[in-house]
Amino acid sequence: MSTEEKVPTDKAVDPQAPAPGSAPGSATAAQGLAIVARTQGQLVRRRFFRHRAAMISLTILFLVIILAYTSIGFAGIPGWWIWNYYTPGKVVNRGAPTLSLWPTFLGGSGFSIGEHPFGQDDLGRDYFALTMRGAQISIMIAFVVGIVSTLIGVTIGALAGYYRGWVESGLMRFTDVMITIPILVIAAVLGQKFGGAGPLVLAIVVGLVLWTGLARLVRGEFLSLREKEFVEAARALGAKPNRIIFKHILPNTVGVITVSATLAIASAILLETALSYLGFGVRAPDTSLGLLVSTYQNAFATRPWLFWWPGLFIITIALSVNFIGDGLRDAYDPRQNRVRA
Amino acid sequence: MTVPPTTPPDDVPGGSIYGPATEEIPELFQVYEPSEGVELTPSRTSSVGPTGTTEVLKVENLTVGFPTEDGLVRAVRGVSYTLHEREVLGIVGESGSGKSVSSMAVMGLLPKSARITGNISFRGQNILSMSKNEQRSLRGRKIAMIFQDPMTAMNPVYTIGFQLAEAVLSHEVMSKKAAMARAEEMLNLVGIPQPKARLNSYPHEFSGGMRQRAMIAMAVINNPDVIIADEPTTALDVTVQAQILEKLIEVKDAFNAAIVLITHDLGVVAGMAHRTLVMYAGRPVELGTTEEVFYNPRMPYTAGLLGSIPSAGDTGRLRPITGAPPSLINLPDGCPFSPRCPLADDKCRTVEPELLPTDTIDHLAACHHWDRLAAAPDPTAFFRTESEAHR
Amino acid sequence: MLPFIVRRLFISFFVLLSATFIVYVLVASAGDPRAALQESTDPGKANKIAILTRNLSLDVPVIPRYLAWLKGALGCLIGQCDLGNTATGADVGSQLTTAMGSTLRLVLFATVTAIVLGVTVGMITALRQYSGLDYSVTFLAFLFFSLPVFWIAVLMKQFLAIKFNEWLKSPSISLAITVVVAVLVGLAAMAILGGDRRRKLLAFAGGAAAVAVILTYLNLTDWFSEPGIGVVAMIVMSAITAVACTALFADFRVRTVLYATLVTALVGVISYFALDPILADPTLLLILGLLVVALVVGASIGAGMGGLFRSQAIKACMLTAFGCSALVFSSHLLNAVPAYSAKVNGVVIATIGSSTPNFTGNFWETTLDQLGHLILPTIAIVLISLAAYTRYTRASMLEVMNADYIRTARAKGLTERTVVVRHGFRNALIPITTLMAIDFGSVIGGAIITETVFGWSGMGKLFNDALKIPDPNAVMGFFLVTGTAIVIFNMIADIAYGFLDPRIRLS
């Protein structure tokens, strides 16, 4: 039972195609087995859609994003929520949340959203709007960080893995240096310097520190793939390095890259909220989920809602992204089939 | 071994562009037509030695199924054979024919989810009804297995000596020194030079042939009665192959063991096995002495296999069997070989043939039309391609 | 081996050097410490600005400043450390030494716990793939992975500390809790032991019953007010330890190893009584010394009684000795809880600082104090690392168990236990060493956050405060310590890798 080589194919035989029965005729007639050709992309997509946790998470994440961006609007486009996140108001009932979910027949006050479902903060601002704004910023930062770090990581890893020699040594030494600095430390330093310039700048800057893991991974993949025969064949045909990298090797690393990018987004959320919590991330007057938690952490005993809502959103977003990443990983590299015991 | 006559092109005297004429090729790979008046060369199986009479292993109607998400994979569908002392049984088949799975069932190495029915008796005791511990005491001690790829089959972090000693110590209580001495003895037996020093080497420090010899040593260190060799030479060079096979025969005789040799290489079986079992789609389709099976195949699949072997004097096109083995989840009705069989008719496609005696009681085949094969002077001719037929 | 280590040291030194340059330049350019002062209306600000400038050499441009710092830092190699002054003029070196103690304690404790727990759970879930336990653990791992440390820390402060201390004042376990915990433990036992239906049911019943009995007993005897391990419990638990260690290293067919471990356990119980006077108020050195003695005694018992199974017996006995020593240690700790609780007004699990200020007490009370402060930050950090170790170990173990050599080991007739522990586990550990190196960086990040939440005056606070100014010298001091720690840890991981995998060793 030797391990199978991962052969990069454009078409794959679908082992689940039923045999429609043998056709009458001579021995050289139709085989009786239908071979349905599917591209790798289609296979991956199929497996991904079968992963229940990932699909549920995808839906949840989608809903959260839509909620965050449409409820209070952004970039000048108005939203459908009555309150905004910056206008102070009168504090009603100590700012307690007006959301109730417990149905009346179970002793609650029925289902209603009320004026301020998430409550109000010290200044009477609507907490739902604040949370949504925080979510918007955190999500935006996470995605930007994910994209930037993926681009850098893939570039460095690909160059190092393909060109070997001093290019590789230099890039890998540089990566080693960056790895020596704990991520939170370097992110905090950069955040201290650039945090005041707004969330987008912060995001790009933080993306400049999260690429080390992906660079190592991509380099590893390139190192093993460039020894494969199909690369040798391409080189023998006279293909230029550019073409080999982009058309031959890179498509085979798509799986690893996608999974890493997704996980990078998840850790970016946690990193950004941690930074904002410590004070090195998003600063007032902007808000982020981490900043909200930091501001109200001491109110936990008296006004727990100020603390719960932002945290729950952080967890939901990070968890969904993590599950999606896991689903992608399974889709690209399925392990042994589950056996009905 | 019967194959279509190797007619060299008329204009090339005494041979073909591929090499000397058939008569000059060494014995093992030679091909004879009985009609040419040359004596049937006794196969090398006679050098393998006579077999004992005690029945060591008896497999009756073994079936193995694996439940998967897509359905039940019926990997083995009714295998039966008996093995006597010092006998070599060759099991031949393509990937997916069930040859490895049936042997893993004998060893008890199948995953828990496998559904096994049938009887496997070792010296009269039914293995399948034994407790786990009893099965384990047989494994590695009375029934041993040699695997295909010796590099991955050995643990890379422990020395060879340790792994050999482990095989001994798991069945017998003795001092570590004694176990190591036994290990050294075994390494010597299989022909590894400087065995004492080699005890402290790691698997990756050995060459492929050496590793397989070490595997053989590991299998026979407890004096087993049955050795199951699952494609022992597939991962090795051809030159090393012969050495390993020779070594296996030596070891078998030294320990009075029987060998089940699983392979897809007909040449290996021809030179080594007393009897041959051909498997297809999880079922045995022909069983008989090696000579009978090779010279008088009574199942079209066997004929096709034999006919597909290129010989050194050949100049025509290769003659593969068209098509591919069926899916084990969705087997076609009737004979599983019928989609690819040149002799198939409606009966073949509806009724699955049973393994029944043909010319002699010892030669069984699973084919409705084995008599047509018996009648033909050259059974492999049925598989000749169109272009050849017109030659 | 040695040239390998030397070469690594060399490379690591230069890597660290380059990193210090990057960090210094970034911090120095992150802002001007005098900016706040310049805007203020403080009449004495000119003077303050001058002092600040002198302390941090702000009149010198960045690169020469870095070189000056580097010169001072390199002096550390020859024992003359000069890491500059903080913004307030204090010496960075002495600040570091005071802060290092508590942070190092936290980081080490958290790392060790995470590794031990994570690897164990990962292994078990790999062996029981697709069971209910596997799915729950996987889900929990994902959940922990997605938790923001600071958020969960605040939650823990409330529920695990404040509420727990409240509960400790009049502890009682309700019937509902007993039932729930018993059922959960039963389910876990069922999943862990596996096997056929009968064995699973027995495991469930046994586990649930045992837990139910223990909890009820604890409740009825009001154990929580005066905890301790009585004689009976001591004997029983030592015996269980002995059996467990035997199961891990040998099998029960031949009793030799079992007898050896049981004898070791007996020695442990006897020493529990015999050493009572010495252990009234020991020092840390004494404790460590006794531990070494215990291990040696265990090893000798194993060697003496092991016979043909000597090596297995030695390993099993040493582990038993360690386990029994841990039992004795815990017993003394638990005995000291009431006294300690009285001294700290019932705040057993603390939420602020790394130890109670101005605390005096014997060794056990001081240790309890440190543990009480340590536990919450450790849990916070461990939660995140645990998820990574569990998933990684599980994946590695699964891959290993599907390898050919496992099949060979089974074909040789080895017991399943031997196959899993000797062949599977050993090979699965190899890639985990790489994870240890990578994870350490995130542990340090976690430490920074938890120290902030729990108000520890450790390296994290040092870093936080320093970066806000920004004070390059202090930050560099922090980075020097943590960077060196990371580099050393990386090297240990590399060496461990070479030790575990002979294929690397010889290349």
Inter-chain touch A340–B113, beta carbons under 8 Å: yes
Q: Judge whether residue C199 has pLDDT over 90.
A: no
Is any Cβ of chain C less than 8 angstroms from the Cβ of B140? yes
| pLDDT tier at C256, thresholds 50, 70, 90 | confident
Inter-chain touch B109–C407, beta carbons under 8 Å: yes
What is residue A329's predicted lDDT score, i.e. its pLDDT?
A: 82
Q: Which of B82, B31, B25 minimizes the C-alpha distance to B270?
A: B31
What is residue A92's predicted lDDT score, i.e. its pLDDT?
A: 76
- Between positions 13 and 42 of A, the ones with CB within 8 A of B are 15-16, 18-19, 21-22, 24, 26-28, 31-33
As beta bridge partners, residue A74 has A77
Q: Judge whether residue B276 has pLDDT over 90.
A: yes
Residue with tokens 């998840």: A266
Inter-chain touch A22–B338, beta carbons under 8 Å: yes
Inter-chain touch A3–B349, beta carbons under 8 Å: no
- Report which of residues C407 and A336 the model is more confident about: C407
Inter-chain touch C405–B155, beta carbons under 8 Å: yes
What is residue A70's predicted lDDT score, i.e. its pLDDT?
A: 87
Is any Cβ of chain C less than 8 angstroms from the Cβ of A73? no
Inter-chain touch C467–A188, beta carbons under 8 Å: yes
Element (H, E) at A45: helix A40-50
* A290 neighbourhood in chain C, CB within 8 Å: 148, 150
Percentage, residues of chain C above pLDDT 70: 99
Inter-chain touch C150–A294, beta carbons under 8 Å: yes
| pLDDT tier at C280, thresholds 50, 70, 90 | confident
Q: Judge whether residue B9 has pLDDT over 90.
A: no
Q: Torsions phi, psi of A281, nearest 5?
A: -110, -125
Give the 3-state secondary structure of residue B20: strand
What is residue B385's predicted lDDT score, i.e. its pLDDT?
A: 58
Nearest Cα of chain B lies from the Cα of C247 at a distance, in angstroms, of 16
| pLDDT tier at A23, thresholds 50, 70, 90 | very low
Lowest mean pLDDT among A15-19, A184-188, A195-199, B348-352: A15-19
Inter-chain touch B145–C404, beta carbons under 8 Å: no
Burial class of residue A221 in the structure, from the number of CB atoms within 10 Å of its CB (0-12 exposed, 13-18 middle, 19+ buried): buried
Inter-chain touch A22–B339, beta carbons under 8 Å: yes
Q: Torsions phi, psi of A55, nearest 5?
A: -65, -40
Is any Cβ of chain A less than 8 angstroms from the Cβ of C442? yes
SS (H, E, C) C175-233: HHHHHHHHHHHHHHHHHHHCCCHHHHHHHHHHHHHHHHHHHHHHHHCCCCCCCCCCHHH
Structural tokens at position B33: 């037509």
Lowest mean pLDDT among B167-181, B210-224, C69-83, C146-160: C69-83
Where residue B233 falls (left for φ over 0; alpha for ψ -120 to 50; beta otherwise) is alpha
Residue from the list A2, A337, A338 with its beta carbon closest to the beta carbon of B152: A2
| pLDDT tier at B121, thresholds 50, 70, 90 | very high
Q: What is d(CA A138, CA A133) in angstroms, rounded to the nearest whole number?
A: 9
Inter-chain touch B107–C413, beta carbons under 8 Å: no
Task: Select the residue from B101, B104, B157, B223 to test the C interface by mutation, using most C Cβ atoms within 10 A.
Answer: B157
SS (H, E, C) C42-108: CCCHHHHHHHHHHHHCCCCCHHHHHHHHHHHHHHHHHCCCCCCECCCCCEHHHHHHHHHHHHHHHHH
What is residue C405's predicted lDDT score, i.e. its pLDDT?
A: 93
Q: Judge whether residue C218 has pLDDT over 70.
A: yes
Q: Which chains touch B (3 or more CB pairs under 8 A)?
A: A, C
What is the mean predicted confidence (pLDDT) over B108-118?
Answer: 89
| pLDDT tier at C295, thresholds 50, 70, 90 | very high
Q: Judge whether residue B2 has pLDDT over 90.
A: no
Q: What is d(CA C83, CA C476) in angstroms, rounded to the nearest whole number?
A: 8
A30-87 tens-digit pLDDT: 344 455 667 878 888 888 888 888 899 999 999 999 988 888 877 778 878 877 777 7
- Between positions 138 and 177 of A, the ones with CB within 8 A of C are 173, 176-177
| pLDDT tier at C118, thresholds 50, 70, 90 | very high
Is any Cβ of chain B less than 8 angstroms from the Cβ of C414? yes
Nearest Cα of chain B lies from the Cα of C5 at a distance, in angstroms, of 21
| pLDDT tier at C145, thresholds 50, 70, 90 | confident
Is any Cβ of chain A less than 8 angstroms from the Cβ of C16? yes
What is residue B233's predicted lDDT score, i.e. its pLDDT?
A: 86
Q: Judge whether residue B355 has pLDDT over 60.
A: yes
| pLDDT tier at B25, thresholds 50, 70, 90 | very low
> What is the residue type of A119?
G
What is residue B199's predicted lDDT score, i.e. its pLDDT?
A: 92
Number of other residues whose CB lies within 10 A of the CB of residue B53: 9
Nearest Cα of chain A lies from the Cα of C31 at a distance, in angstroms, of 6
Is residue B364 within 8 A of residue B286, CB to CB? The reply is yes
Using a CB–CB cut-off of 8 Å, the residues of B that contact A are 66-70, 100, 111-113, 148-149, 152, 235, 322-324, 326-327, 330-333, 338-342, 344, 349, 383, 386
DSSP C446-471: HHHHHHHHHT--SHHHHHHHHHHTT-
Is any Cβ of chain A less than 8 angstroms from the Cβ of C143? yes
Q: Judge whether residue A8 has pLDDT over 60.
A: no
What is residue A24's predicted lDDT score, i.e. its pLDDT?
A: 38
Burial class of residue C102 in the structure, from the number of CB atoms within 10 Å of its CB (0-12 exposed, 13-18 middle, 19+ buried): buried
Q: Judge whether residue B209 has pLDDT over 90.
A: no
Q: Judge whether residue C272 has pLDDT over 60.
A: yes
**How many beta-carbon contacts under 8 Å exist across A and B?**
64
> What is the residue type of C73?
A
What is the mean predicted confidence (pLDDT) over C296-308?
Answer: 87
- CA distance readout (Å), C250 to C195, C247, C320: 20, 6, 13
- Between positions 280 and 319 of C, the ones with CB within 8 A of B are 308, 311
Q: Judge whether residue C406 has pLDDT over 90.
A: yes
Q: Judge whether residue B387 has pLDDT over 80.
A: no
* A279 neighbourhood in chain C, CB within 8 Å: 464, 468
Structural tokens at position B166: 């482990």
* A339 neighbourhood in chain B, CB within 8 Å: 66-69, 111, 113
B287-320 tens-digit pLDDT: 999 988 888 888 888 888 888 887 777 777 777 8
Q: Judge whether residue B159 has pLDDT over 90.
A: yes
Q: Judge whether residue B390 has pLDDT over 60.
A: no
Residue from the list A3, A16, A31 with its beta carbon closest to the beta carbon of B339: A31
Inter-chain touch C148–A176, beta carbons under 8 Å: no
∠ CA A141-A146-A152 to the nearest 5 degrees? 125
Is any Cβ of chain C less than 8 angstroms from the Cβ of A297? yes
ipTM beyond cut 0.90: no
Lowest mean pLDDT among A48-62, A80-94, A311-325, B263-277: A80-94
Is any Cβ of chain B less than 8 angstroms from the Cβ of A94? no
Instruction: Please state, rounded to an integer, the average pLDDT across all residues of chain A.
Output: 78
Residue from the list C157, C467, C487 with its beta carbon closest to the beta carbon of A180: C487
* Number of residues in chain B: 391
What is the mean predicted confidence (pLDDT) over A283-288?
Answer: 82
Is any Cβ of chain C less than 8 angstroms from the Cβ of B167? yes
Is residue B304 within 8 A of residue B383, CB to CB? The reply is yes
Q: What is d(CA B23, CA B31) in angstroms, rounded to the nearest whole number?
A: 8
Percentage, residues of chain B above pLDDT 70: 85
Q: Judge whether residue B47 has pLDDT over 70.
A: no
* A280 neighbourhood in chain C, CB within 8 Å: 467
Is residue C212 within 8 A of residue C178, CB to CB? The reply is yes
What is residue A18's predicted lDDT score, i.e. its pLDDT?
A: 33
Q: Which chains touch C (3 or more CB pairs under 8 A)?
A: A, B
C430-450 tens-digit pLDDT: 888 888 888 888 888 888 888
What is residue C506's predicted lDDT score, i.e. its pLDDT?
A: 54
Strands (E), chain A: 12-13, 37-38
Give the 3-state secondary structure of residue A2: coil
Q: Judge whether residue B90 has pLDDT over 90.
A: yes
Nearest Cα of chain A lies from the Cα of C484 at a distance, in angstroms, of 9
* B107 neighbourhood in chain C, CB within 8 Å: 411
What is residue A109's predicted lDDT score, i.e. its pLDDT?
A: 66
Is residue B224 within 8 A of residue B189, CB to CB? The reply is no
Q: What is d(CA B366, CA C411) in angstroms, rounded to the nearest whole number?
A: 32
Percentage, residues of chain A above pLDDT 90: 10
- Report which of residues C230 and B269 the model is more confident about: B269
* B215 neighbourhood in chain C, CB within 8 Å: 408
A119-173 tens-digit pLDDT: 888 788 888 888 888 899 889 999 999 999 999 999 888 888 888 788 888 888 8
Inter-chain touch A31–B344, beta carbons under 8 Å: no
Instruction: Please state, rounded to an integer, the average pLDDT across all residues of chain C.
Output: 85
* Number of residues in chain A: 341
Give the 3-state secondary structure of residue C265: helix
Nearest Cα of chain B lies from the Cα of C502 at a distance, in angstroms, of 6
Nearest Cα of chain C lies from the Cα of A143 at a distance, in angstroms, of 16
Number of other residues whose CB lies within 10 A of the CB of residue C32: 14
| pLDDT tier at B279, thresholds 50, 70, 90 | very high
Nearest Cα of chain C lies from the Cα of B273 at a distance, in angstroms, of 23
What is the mean predicted confidence (pLDDT) over C133-153?
Answer: 88
What is the mean predicted confidence (pLDDT) over B201-225?
Answer: 91
What is residue B327's predicted lDDT score, i.e. its pLDDT?
A: 82
Inter-chain touch A1–B100, beta carbons under 8 Å: yes
As a whole number of Å, the end-to-end CA separation of chain C is: 11
| pLDDT tier at A334, thresholds 50, 70, 90 | low
- Report which of residues B20 and A185 the model is more confident about: A185
B181-191 tens-digit pLDDT: 999 999 998 88
